[in-house]
Chain A
Amino acid sequence: MDKTINQKAWFLVLPVFLVVAFSAILPLMTVVNYSMQDTFGNNQFFWNGVGWFKELLDPTTDLGERFLASLWRNLFFSAVILAIEVPLGIVVALSMPREGWTVAACLVIMALPLLIPWNVVGTIWQIFGRPDIGLLGYTLNSLGLHYNYVANDLDAWATVIVMDVWHWTSLVALLCYAGLKSIPDAYYQAAQIDGASRWAVFKAIQLPKMNRVLLIAVLLRFMDSFMIYTEPFVVTGGGPGNSTTFVSIELVKIALGQFDLGKAAALSLVYNLIIIIVCWVFYTVMTNAGAERQPAKGVA
């Protein structure tokens, strides 16, 4: 079959192409361009090839050490909050009411933390945790616990983690709740008939049916926590020392604090690549988990 060739079609794609070019492709290419150069200000640039990338992956250099340290810190942070928020979100979703006016009330209360802007959340916890005037900090210290997130690494970590759990567990819970609501009553009735215990019902029905939404929840929470900036920056500013300096905080320090555009550009490219790869791996593993290799065939 002969296709009609009509070059006019290109003009129809052109507006979208322009928008995408200016919003995504050109800025990204600028970053790629910067990542290959060094600047000493004054808009003077010098070619550096893949030098920054080599340094990034080499812990003996200053850049490499800072990047890798913040990367491990950030991965650890993501792992901790996933390990807390996912099970907690499931438990919350399971204990939410199924019907009646309490459903609406619960949903609204759950949604509240999600509606608060990041730096407001940061500010709330920054004040809440202060040992001199904050309700939490003051109470803990009065109880004899020497809690001070400005001075102790552990306290700073605890504050940032609790803050993230407070802010985002609702998201996981709401997604799980949606998954639970989609399970027909017949499943629960059949499980009763089959004599299933509460735990067996969870394992055999609820968890498998929440599979899909949990995948989304894990992906969203991983990406968000891996890119976290505002909240810890407002609360701890990355400190004490560098103990809560996550990758994005390090990135901003290099790009805007030191105005090392080349290093920052290289770092942000690698950062971006890591996020894409990790998400791809997550997605592939979780969608294939439990899936059978054999093609589907009917029994008749």
Chain B
Amino acid sequence: MARIDLVDLAHSYSGNAADPESFALKPVTMTWRQGGAYALLGPSGCGKTTLLNLISGIVTPSRGKILFDAVDITPLSTQKRNIAQVFQFPVIYDTMTVGQNLAFPLKNRGVPKGEIDARVAEIARLLDLTPYLERKATRLTADAKQKISLGRGLVRSNVAAILFDEPLTVIDPELKWQLRSKLKALHRDLDLTMIYVTHDQTEALTFADTVVVMHDGRVVQSGTPAELFDKPAHTFVGYFIGSPGMNIVPAEVRGREARIDGHVIALRRNYNGLPAGARIEIGVRPEFVDVAPPAPGLLSAAVERIDDLGRIRFARVRIGDAKFAARVPAGFSIPDKVAGLVFDPSHVHVYADSRLIEGSA
């Protein structure tokens, strides 16, 4: 159990001399609280697995330091780091029974037999593996094997953190929910730091207290699910999280007004002094834009289609060349192919070169 600090940590698989822009992980400095449930979220190839492998020591960083409770452990091998990791695909020791598989990490560390048995029994109970303890692990289903892998990750009680690298990829959707809630319950019970890598936003948002979004080797935002939803720090976070994602439209912004297609939208804050020459966009989630009958004073848009998601309907519209999604209020029907858009000013954000700009009051 430990607090983990990353200090200016960066990694390139082609060595330190490589072009900084080509680094798999660009320099990051951040802190993982003891006992936190974190999700590392991002598309494939964004560097999240690299970050995980750096923390566990499978990969040695090109630059920077990793501290466990303020002690620099960067040069230590994986074995000495006291960390657990669960991989995407199940890893099973073929010749061993389920019980021996679970006991393996403890046995290797010379834990007394009585303690091993108690711990294995407990983990097996938590993961519903008790009836299979005496069975050979090879013949089990992929689901069961992955549970054993999870079990081996959880079996040591004193680890600095448990790292999960998309551990539920091979698991059936229904069982996925169960296992995820189980992990969450385990997290509450055991007071362990857990870092969970995924590219699935639902998985990340339901598991973690803090979601760390990565994009192109950079950590672009880290915050609670609500923060990521309400105030994306980067346009990438805006459209990666939420379904449909945030609308991002180029606009001219001056003071408390944004101008799209010559139409003015009111803003909550004052945006004087935006960086000169930057690409200015406004971002607003579809949930905070309503379609209405066309009227003077409303931004008008061409309606392309309506997506009915059951509880909520979204209109896919077009403003000039830009695609846009907006909520269709209940009971509202669109008579012709043109609609007006009503913005909620408190949820319209301004981005300069993809980064959120905090206006002044």
Residues of chain A whose beta carbon lies under 8 Å from any beta carbon of chain B: 184, 186-187, 189-190, 192-197, 200, 203-205, 207-209, 290, 292, 294, 296-300
Chain B nearest CB: distance from A80 CB in Å?
27
> Which of A187, A200, A290, A298 is B91 in contact with, Cβ under 8 Å?
A187
- A205: chain B residues within 8 A (beta carbon): 93
Q: Is there an interface contact between B109 and A190, defined as CB atoms closer than 8 Å?
A: no
Looking at A195, A200, A205, the one whose CB has the most chain B CB atoms below 10 A away is A195
Q: Is there an interface contact between B87 and A300, defined as CB atoms closer than 8 Å?
A: no
Q: Write 8 A-B pairs (CB below 8 A) sorted by A numbering.
A: A193-B58, A193-B78, A195-B109, A290-B95, A298-B143, A299-B131, A299-B147, A300-B144
> Which of B91, B94, B153, B175 is A208 in contact with, Cβ under 8 Å?
B94
User: Residue B135 at the A interface, CB < 8 A?
Assistant: yes
Q: Is there an interface contact between B140 and A290, defined as CB atoms closer than 8 Å?
A: no
- A298: chain B residues within 8 A (beta carbon): 140-141, 143-144
User: Residue B250 at the A interface, CB < 8 A?
Assistant: no
User: Residue B298 at the A interface, CB < 8 A?
Assistant: no
Assembled-state Cα–Cα distance A187/B105 (Å) = 13
> Which of B79, B91, B144 is A186 in contact with, Cβ under 8 Å?
B91
> Which of B104, B109, B140, B152 is A299 in contact with, Cβ under 8 Å?
B140
Least CB separation from A295: chain B residue:
B139
- B94: chain A residues within 8 A (beta carbon): 208-209, 290
Chain B nearest CB: distance from A189 CB in Å?
5
Q: A192-B58, A204-B95, A205-B93 are in contact. Are A292 and B108 (CB under 8 A)?
A: no
> Which of B93, B128, B140, B147 is A204 in contact with, Cβ under 8 Å?
B93
> Which of A186, A204, A208, A294 is B104 in contact with, Cβ under 8 Å?
A204
Within 8 A of A (CB), among B115-163: 128-129, 131-132, 135-136, 139-141, 143-144, 147, 149, 152-153
Q: Is there an interface contact between B143 and A200, defined as CB atoms closer than 8 Å?
A: no
- Bits for B83-124, please: 1 = Cβ < 8 Å to A, else 0: 111011101011110000000110011000000000000000
New A-B contacts (14) at CB < 8 Å, excluding given A187-B91, A292-B135, A299-B129: A186-B87, A186-B91, A189-B85, A193-B56, A195-B79, A195-B105, A197-B108, A200-B108, A204-B95, A208-B95, A294-B135, A298-B140, A300-B141, A300-B144
Assembled-state Cα–Cα distance A297/B131 (Å) = 12
Least CB separation from B88: chain A residue:
A186
Q: Is there an interface contact between B149 and A190, defined as CB atoms closer than 8 Å?
A: yes
> Which of A187, A194, A297 is B152 in contact with, Cβ under 8 Å?
A194
Least CB separation from B56: chain A residue:
A193
Q: Is there an interface contact between A192 and B144, defined as CB atoms closer than 8 Å?
A: no
Chain B nearest CB: distance from A225 CB in Å?
28
User: Residue B77 at the A interface, CB < 8 A?
Assistant: yes
Q: Is there an interface contact between A195 and B108, defined as CB atoms closer than 8 Å?
A: yes
- A196: chain B residues within 8 A (beta carbon): 104, 108
Within 8 A of A (CB), among B202-238: none
- B83: chain A residues within 8 A (beta carbon): 193
Assembled-state Cα–Cα distance A205/B94 (Å) = 7
Q: Is there an interface contact between A204 and B135, defined as CB atoms closer than 8 Å?
A: no
Q: Is there an interface contact between A292 and B78, defined as CB atoms closer than 8 Å?
A: no
Looking at B84, B95, B131, B140, the one whose CB has the most chain A CB atoms below 10 A away is B95
Assembled-state Cα–Cα distance A290/B109 (Å) = 26
Assembled-state Cα–Cα distance A197/B53 (Å) = 20
Chain A nearest CB: distance from B232 CB in Å?
33
Chain A nearest CB: distance from B182 CB in Å?
14
Within 8 A of A (CB), among B310-334: none
Q: Is there an interface contact between B136 and A193, defined as CB atoms closer than 8 Å?
A: no
Q: Is there an interface contact between B96 and A204, defined as CB atoms closer than 8 Å?
A: yes
Least CB separation from A187: chain B residue:
B91
Assembled-state Cα–Cα distance A299/B138 (Å) = 12
Q: Is there an interface contact between B79 and A299, defined as CB atoms closer than 8 Å?
A: no
- Bits for B165-195, please: 1 = Cβ < 8 Å to A, else 0: 0000000000100000000000000000000
Assembled-state Cα–Cα distance A294/B88 (Å) = 28
Assembled-state Cα–Cα distance A300/B176 (Å) = 11
3 closest Cβ pairs, A-B complex: A299-B144, A298-B141, A190-B91
Least CB separation from A194: chain B residue:
B105
> Which of A186, A192, A207, A296 is B78 in contact with, Cβ under 8 Å?
A192
Chain B nearest CB: distance from A205 CB in Å?
7
Q: A189-B87, A194-B152, A197-B108 are in contact. Are A299 and B136 (CB under 8 A)?
A: no
Q: Is there an interface contact between B89 and A186, defined as CB atoms closer than 8 Å?
A: yes
Assembled-state Cα–Cα distance A266/B149 (Å) = 58
Assembled-state Cα–Cα distance A200/B147 (Å) = 22
Chain B nearest CB: distance from A182 CB in Å?
13
Least CB separation from A197: chain B residue:
B108
Assembled-state Cα–Cα distance A195/B56 (Å) = 12
- B91: chain A residues within 8 A (beta carbon): 186-187, 190
Least CB separation from B142: chain A residue:
A298
Assembled-state Cα–Cα distance A23/B132 (Å) = 53
Q: Is there an interface contact between B85 and A193, defined as CB atoms closer than 8 Å?
A: yes
Assembled-state Cα–Cα distance A204/B109 (Å) = 15
Least CB separation from B93: chain A residue:
A204
Looking at A186, A197, A297, the one whose CB has the most chain B CB atoms below 10 A away is A186
Assembled-state Cα–Cα distance A190/B89 (Å) = 11
Assembled-state Cα–Cα distance A184/B94 (Å) = 14
Within 8 A of A (CB), among B42-90: 53, 56-58, 77-79, 83-85, 87-89
> Which of A187, A200, A203, A299 is B141 in contact with, Cβ under 8 Å?
A299
Chain B nearest CB: distance from A260 CB in Å?
51
- A190: chain B residues within 8 A (beta carbon): 85, 87, 91, 149, 152
- B104: chain A residues within 8 A (beta carbon): 194, 196, 200, 204
Q: Is there an interface contact between A292 and B79, defined as CB atoms closer than 8 Å?
A: no
Assembled-state Cα–Cα distance A194/B78 (Å) = 9
